[in-house]
Amino acid sequence: MGNYICFVPGDLLAPVIWEKFEGHFKACGYTCSLLSLPDQSELGWYNILNGKDVLTRLVDFYALQITALPSPPILIGHALGGMVVQLLLDRGIGLAGVAIASRPPKRSFPNLRSLLHIVTAKTDQLNGICFVQMTSAQFLRHIAHPVSPHTIELPYNKILSKIPRKLMIAISLGLGSRLLFNQERGPLLLISGGDDRLVNSSVILANYYHQRRSLAPTDYISFPGYGHLLMMQPGWEHVADQIIEWLQQQVGRF
Protein backbone atom coordinates (compact mmCIF):
# COMPACT_ATOMS: atom_id res chain seq x y z
CA MET A 1 0.00 0.00 0.00
CA GLY A 2 1.27 3.48 -0.82
CA ASN A 3 1.39 6.56 1.34
CA TYR A 4 -1.90 7.66 2.86
CA ILE A 5 -3.29 11.12 2.04
CA CYS A 6 -5.95 13.02 3.98
CA PHE A 7 -7.62 15.96 2.25
CA VAL A 8 -8.68 18.59 4.80
CA PRO A 9 -11.82 20.61 3.90
CA GLY A 10 -11.64 24.38 3.89
CA ASP A 11 -14.13 27.20 4.30
CA LEU A 12 -16.92 28.30 1.95
CA LEU A 13 -16.21 25.48 -0.53
CA ALA A 14 -17.77 22.01 -0.53
CA PRO A 15 -15.65 18.80 -0.42
CA VAL A 16 -16.47 18.24 -4.11
CA ILE A 17 -13.50 20.51 -4.96
CA TRP A 18 -11.18 17.59 -4.13
CA GLU A 19 -12.66 15.09 -6.62
CA LYS A 20 -10.11 15.67 -9.40
CA PHE A 21 -7.16 15.62 -6.99
CA GLU A 22 -8.43 12.51 -5.23
CA GLY A 23 -8.76 10.58 -8.49
CA HIS A 24 -5.33 11.74 -9.70
CA PHE A 25 -3.54 10.82 -6.47
CA LYS A 26 -5.23 7.42 -6.34
CA ALA A 27 -4.10 6.75 -9.91
CA CYS A 28 -0.55 7.52 -8.76
CA GLY A 29 -0.74 4.90 -6.03
CA TYR A 30 -1.81 6.92 -3.00
CA THR A 31 -4.54 5.81 -0.63
CA CYS A 32 -6.82 8.83 -0.21
CA SER A 33 -9.40 9.93 2.30
CA LEU A 34 -11.43 13.12 2.69
CA LEU A 35 -11.76 14.13 6.32
CA SER A 36 -15.32 14.81 7.36
CA LEU A 37 -16.68 18.25 8.22
CA PRO A 38 -18.77 18.83 11.34
CA ASP A 39 -22.40 18.33 10.42
CA GLN A 40 -24.33 21.54 9.64
CA SER A 41 -26.62 20.99 12.59
CA GLU A 42 -26.73 22.08 16.17
CA LEU A 43 -25.18 18.82 17.39
CA GLY A 44 -22.52 18.70 14.68
CA TRP A 45 -21.08 22.14 15.48
CA TYR A 46 -22.04 22.42 19.15
CA ASN A 47 -18.80 21.11 20.72
CA ILE A 48 -16.70 23.29 18.43
CA LEU A 49 -18.63 26.55 18.73
CA ASN A 50 -19.56 26.27 22.42
CA GLY A 51 -16.45 27.92 23.85
CA LYS A 52 -13.79 30.55 23.23
CA ASP A 53 -11.15 28.51 21.37
CA VAL A 54 -13.30 27.50 18.40
CA LEU A 55 -10.39 27.03 15.97
CA THR A 56 -8.49 24.92 18.49
CA ARG A 57 -11.60 22.78 18.90
CA LEU A 58 -11.86 22.36 15.13
CA VAL A 59 -8.21 21.27 14.93
CA ASP A 60 -8.90 18.82 17.77
CA PHE A 61 -11.84 17.48 15.73
CA TYR A 62 -9.54 16.70 12.79
CA ALA A 63 -6.72 15.44 15.01
CA LEU A 64 -9.03 12.73 16.39
CA GLN A 65 -9.79 11.51 12.86
CA ILE A 66 -6.13 11.50 11.85
CA THR A 67 -4.67 9.83 14.93
CA ALA A 68 -7.20 7.01 14.53
CA LEU A 69 -5.52 6.01 11.26
CA PRO A 70 -3.05 3.09 11.24
CA SER A 71 -0.11 5.31 10.21
CA PRO A 72 0.65 9.04 9.96
CA PRO A 73 -0.81 10.41 6.71
CA ILE A 74 0.18 13.20 4.36
CA LEU A 75 -2.12 16.17 4.92
CA ILE A 76 -3.38 18.37 2.05
CA GLY A 77 -5.66 21.30 2.85
CA HIS A 78 -7.16 24.30 1.07
CA ALA A 79 -7.91 27.78 2.53
CA LEU A 80 -8.99 27.16 6.14
CA GLY A 81 -7.98 23.53 5.60
CA GLY A 82 -4.47 24.73 4.73
CA MET A 83 -4.29 26.58 8.05
CA VAL A 84 -5.51 23.46 9.85
CA VAL A 85 -2.76 21.44 8.15
CA GLN A 86 -0.13 23.84 9.49
CA LEU A 87 -1.56 23.72 13.01
CA LEU A 88 -1.70 19.92 12.93
CA LEU A 89 1.92 19.69 11.76
CA ASP A 90 2.89 22.09 14.56
CA ARG A 91 1.43 19.54 16.98
CA GLY A 92 3.54 16.82 15.40
CA ILE A 93 0.56 15.25 13.60
CA GLY A 94 1.03 14.20 9.97
CA LEU A 95 3.90 12.83 7.92
CA ALA A 96 4.04 15.94 5.71
CA GLY A 97 1.70 18.77 4.79
CA VAL A 98 0.60 20.74 1.74
CA ALA A 99 -1.31 23.99 2.29
CA ILE A 100 -3.02 25.36 -0.84
CA ALA A 101 -4.19 28.99 -0.89
CA SER A 102 -4.06 28.80 2.87
CA ARG A 103 -5.45 31.32 5.29
CA PRO A 104 -2.41 32.36 7.34
CA PRO A 105 -1.81 31.43 10.98
CA LYS A 106 -1.50 34.28 13.45
CA ARG A 107 1.66 36.38 13.43
CA SER A 108 1.25 39.94 14.72
CA PHE A 109 -1.91 41.70 13.59
CA PRO A 110 -5.52 40.62 13.01
CA ASN A 111 -6.69 40.32 9.40
CA LEU A 112 -9.00 43.34 9.46
CA ARG A 113 -9.85 43.09 5.75
CA SER A 114 -11.00 39.51 6.17
CA LEU A 115 -12.87 40.44 9.34
CA LEU A 116 -14.75 43.22 7.54
CA HIS A 117 -15.70 40.80 4.76
CA ILE A 118 -17.04 38.27 7.28
CA VAL A 119 -19.13 40.65 9.40
CA THR A 120 -20.73 42.18 6.28
CA ALA A 121 -21.30 38.90 4.42
CA LYS A 122 -24.68 37.32 3.81
CA THR A 123 -25.62 34.91 6.59
CA ASP A 124 -28.06 32.07 7.08
CA GLN A 125 -29.49 30.76 10.36
CA LEU A 126 -29.60 26.99 10.73
CA ASN A 127 -30.44 25.26 14.01
CA GLY A 128 -29.50 28.39 15.93
CA ILE A 129 -26.10 28.76 14.24
CA CYS A 130 -25.22 31.72 12.03
CA PHE A 131 -23.50 30.52 8.84
CA VAL A 132 -21.63 32.73 6.38
CA GLN A 133 -22.43 32.12 2.73
CA MET A 134 -21.16 33.60 -0.53
CA THR A 135 -23.41 34.97 -3.26
CA SER A 136 -23.06 34.00 -6.93
CA ALA A 137 -21.57 37.43 -7.72
CA GLN A 138 -18.95 37.00 -4.97
CA PHE A 139 -18.19 33.51 -6.23
CA LEU A 140 -17.51 34.80 -9.74
CA ARG A 141 -15.42 37.71 -8.46
CA HIS A 142 -13.34 35.97 -5.80
CA ILE A 143 -13.45 32.19 -6.33
CA ALA A 144 -13.88 31.45 -10.05
CA HIS A 145 -11.47 34.19 -11.21
CA PRO A 146 -9.51 34.15 -13.51
CA VAL A 147 -11.31 31.45 -15.52
CA SER A 148 -14.82 31.32 -16.93
CA PRO A 149 -17.22 29.53 -14.55
CA HIS A 150 -18.25 27.32 -17.49
CA THR A 151 -14.79 25.69 -17.50
CA ILE A 152 -15.13 24.59 -13.86
CA GLU A 153 -17.76 22.01 -14.90
CA LEU A 154 -19.94 22.43 -11.79
CA PRO A 155 -22.49 25.16 -10.94
CA TYR A 156 -21.45 27.46 -8.13
CA ASN A 157 -24.18 26.22 -5.79
CA LYS A 158 -22.57 22.75 -5.91
CA ILE A 159 -19.14 24.17 -5.07
CA LEU A 160 -20.08 26.61 -2.32
CA SER A 161 -20.61 25.57 1.27
CA LYS A 162 -21.41 27.35 4.54
CA ILE A 163 -19.16 28.01 7.52
CA PRO A 164 -20.11 29.32 10.99
CA ARG A 165 -19.55 33.07 11.28
CA LYS A 166 -18.16 32.69 14.80
CA LEU A 167 -15.38 30.46 13.47
CA MET A 168 -14.53 32.82 10.61
CA ILE A 169 -14.35 35.81 12.95
CA ALA A 170 -11.96 33.90 15.22
CA ILE A 171 -9.78 33.07 12.20
CA SER A 172 -9.72 36.71 11.08
CA LEU A 173 -8.64 37.79 14.56
CA GLY A 174 -5.97 35.10 14.71
CA LEU A 175 -7.54 33.40 17.73
CA GLY A 176 -6.13 29.91 18.23
CA SER A 177 -3.89 29.98 15.14
CA ARG A 178 -0.52 30.88 16.64
CA LEU A 179 2.27 28.49 15.69
CA LEU A 180 4.40 27.36 18.62
CA PHE A 181 7.43 25.90 16.80
CA ASN A 182 8.04 23.87 19.95
CA GLN A 183 8.74 20.52 18.30
CA GLU A 184 9.93 19.10 15.02
CA ARG A 185 7.22 18.92 12.41
CA GLY A 186 6.92 17.21 9.06
CA PRO A 187 7.88 18.93 5.79
CA LEU A 188 5.51 21.67 4.61
CA LEU A 189 4.73 22.96 1.12
CA LEU A 190 2.84 26.25 0.76
CA ILE A 191 1.11 26.87 -2.58
CA SER A 192 -0.44 30.05 -3.97
CA GLY A 193 -2.28 31.01 -7.12
CA GLY A 194 -0.77 34.08 -8.76
CA ASP A 195 -4.25 35.46 -9.55
CA ASP A 196 -5.98 34.42 -6.32
CA ARG A 197 -8.31 37.23 -5.23
CA LEU A 198 -9.35 35.61 -1.95
CA VAL A 199 -5.92 34.74 -0.49
CA ASN A 200 -3.31 36.87 -2.20
CA SER A 201 0.00 35.22 -3.11
CA SER A 202 1.83 37.89 -1.07
CA VAL A 203 0.03 36.56 2.02
CA ILE A 204 1.22 33.02 1.28
CA LEU A 205 4.78 34.23 0.67
CA ALA A 206 4.80 36.15 3.97
CA ASN A 207 3.54 33.01 5.71
CA TYR A 208 6.34 31.03 4.04
CA TYR A 209 8.97 33.31 5.58
CA HIS A 210 7.20 32.93 8.93
CA GLN A 211 7.16 29.13 8.63
CA ARG A 212 10.87 29.05 7.85
CA ARG A 213 11.44 29.63 11.57
CA SER A 214 10.90 25.90 11.85
CA LEU A 215 13.89 23.60 11.40
CA ALA A 216 11.77 21.30 9.22
CA PRO A 217 11.83 21.55 5.40
CA THR A 218 9.56 24.36 4.19
CA ASP A 219 8.94 25.18 0.53
CA TYR A 220 6.80 27.56 -1.50
CA ILE A 221 5.43 27.33 -5.04
CA SER A 222 3.37 29.97 -6.84
CA PHE A 223 1.37 29.14 -9.95
CA PRO A 224 0.97 32.21 -12.22
CA GLY A 225 -2.42 32.47 -13.88
CA TYR A 226 -4.17 30.33 -11.26
CA GLY A 227 -6.90 31.59 -8.94
CA HIS A 228 -8.33 30.27 -5.69
CA LEU A 229 -9.61 27.03 -7.27
CA LEU A 230 -6.22 25.57 -8.17
CA MET A 231 -7.61 22.04 -7.74
CA MET A 232 -10.40 22.51 -10.30
CA GLN A 233 -9.49 25.08 -12.92
CA PRO A 234 -7.92 24.00 -16.24
CA GLY A 235 -4.34 22.96 -15.62
CA TRP A 236 -5.06 21.48 -12.19
CA GLU A 237 -3.04 18.40 -13.22
CA HIS A 238 0.12 20.52 -13.26
CA VAL A 239 -0.51 21.57 -9.65
CA ALA A 240 -1.16 17.96 -8.57
CA ASP A 241 1.97 16.68 -10.32
CA GLN A 242 4.13 19.36 -8.68
CA ILE A 243 2.79 18.30 -5.29
CA ILE A 244 3.51 14.63 -6.04
CA GLU A 245 7.05 15.46 -7.14
CA TRP A 246 7.63 17.43 -3.93
CA LEU A 247 6.19 14.63 -1.78
CA GLN A 248 8.44 12.07 -3.41
CA GLN A 249 11.44 14.24 -2.61
CA GLN A 250 10.38 14.64 1.02
CA VAL A 251 8.92 11.28 2.04
CA GLY A 252 10.34 9.04 -0.69
CA ARG A 253 8.91 7.02 -3.53
CA PHE A 254 6.92 3.87 -2.89
Give per-residue pLDDT as tens, 96-121: 999 999 998 887 445 556 666 676 67
The reported pLDDT for the residue numbered 1 is 41
Give per-residue pLDDT as tens, 32-90: 999 887 875 556 787 788 877 899 999 999 999 999 998 999 999 999 999 999 999 99
pTM of the model: 0.93
Domains of the chain, start order: 4-251 (3.40.50.1820)
21's CB contacts (< 8 A; 6+ apart) are 7, 76, 231, 236, 240
- Cα-Cα-Cα-Cα torsion 110, 103, 252, 233, nearest 10 degrees, comes to -160
Predicted confidence (pLDDT) at residue 13 exceeds the cutoff of 70: yes
**Cis geometry, peptide bond prior to residue 146 (ω within 30 degrees of 0):** yes
Give per-residue pLDDT as tens, 150-208: 777 777 788 888 888 889 888 888 888 888 887 789 999 999 999 999 899 999 999 99
**Segment (H or E) for 189:** strand 188-193
| Dihedral of alpha carbons 191, 194, 199, 203, sign | positive
